[in-house]
């Protein structure tokens, strides 16, 4: 397979199967939690099951984000053929998107995915505690933009609605990349 075919395969495979698997796993586990919750009469055990649901939402969000980043790593390797740039989060892929002439300033999904990157950073490095972040004001502004994100006791919580929107933004981003590629707006890849 030549490089142009590899690029085409990478773009066309960007998303559905693994995102569907994450969603199925998430839904199956939440279904089991719900089954036990509705049968449980002990209030403390019910509260415990509610906490499991919150953890599952956070876990599914983190798995979905990891999937997005893995896809960007694959695209970077195919297109750029250089080691990943230094940096953290999605900012390191700006050069990749510039190479394929995708204007991140005009790509609405990209800004929402970048916001999700900041939320992910807080979840992983401060256990969701906004007040422990280096830039809590920045994160509070991001959280305030999304009614689907919850903030309790300075801790950000992922809701099912936010997780659905996040997955939707990954699909929208993928669609923008595919549309760009189909129009021939990408740089020619030698083979």
Q: What is the pLDDT of residues 73-126, one digit of tens each?
A: 888 888 888 888 888 889 899 888 888 878 888 888 999 999 999 999 999 999
For residue 155, what are the CA distances in angstroms to 29, 46, 110, 169? 23, 21, 24, 23
Determine, yes or no, domain membership for 173.
yes
Determine, yes or no, domain membership for 86.
yes
The number of beta carbons lying within 10 Å of the beta carbon of residue 143 is 20
Determine, yes or no, domain membership for 174.
yes
Determine, yes or no, domain membership for 190.
no
pLDDT at residue 191 in the model = 31
pTM score, whole prediction: 0.82
pLDDT at 14 over 60: no
pLDDT at 22 over 80: no
Determine, yes or no, domain membership for 12.
yes
Residue whose structure tokens are 């801790």: 155
Average pLDDT of the chain is 84
In which domain, by residue range, is 130 found?
3-183
Share of residues in the chain with pLDDT > 70 (%): 85
Contact partners, residue 166, CB within 8 Å, separation at least 6 = 61, 64, 65, 112, 113, 116
Determine, yes or no, domain membership for 128.
yes
* Structural domain total, the chain: 1
Per-residue pLDDT reduced to its tens digit, 111-140: 999 999 999 999 999 999 999 999 999 999
pLDDT at residue 188 in the model = 42
pLDDT at residue 187 in the model = 43
Determine, yes or no, domain membership for 189.
no
């Amino acid at each position: 397979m030549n490089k142009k075919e590899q690029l085409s395969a990478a773009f066309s495979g960007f998303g559905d199967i693994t995102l569907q698997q994450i969603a199925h796993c998430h839904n199956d586990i939440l279904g089991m939690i719900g089954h036990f919750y509705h049968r449980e009469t002990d209030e403390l055990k019910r509260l415990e099951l509610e906490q499991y649901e919150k953890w599952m939402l956070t876990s599914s969000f983190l798995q979905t984000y990891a999937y997005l980043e893995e896809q960007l790593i694959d695209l970077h390797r195919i297109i750029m053929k250089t080691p990943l740039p230094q940096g953290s989060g999605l900012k390191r892929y700006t050069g990749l998107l510039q190479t394929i002439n995708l204007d991140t300033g005009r790509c609405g999904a990209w800004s929402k995915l970048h916001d999700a990157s900041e939320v992910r950073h807080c979840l992983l490095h401060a256990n969701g505690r906004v007040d422990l972040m280096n830039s809590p004001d920045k994160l509070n502004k991001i959280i305030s933009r999304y009614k689907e994100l919850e903030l309790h006791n300075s801790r950000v919580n992922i809701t099912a609605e936010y997780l659905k929107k996040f997955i939707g933004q990954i699909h929208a981003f993928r669609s923008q990349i595919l549309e760009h590629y189909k129009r021939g707006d990408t740089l020619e890849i030698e083979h």
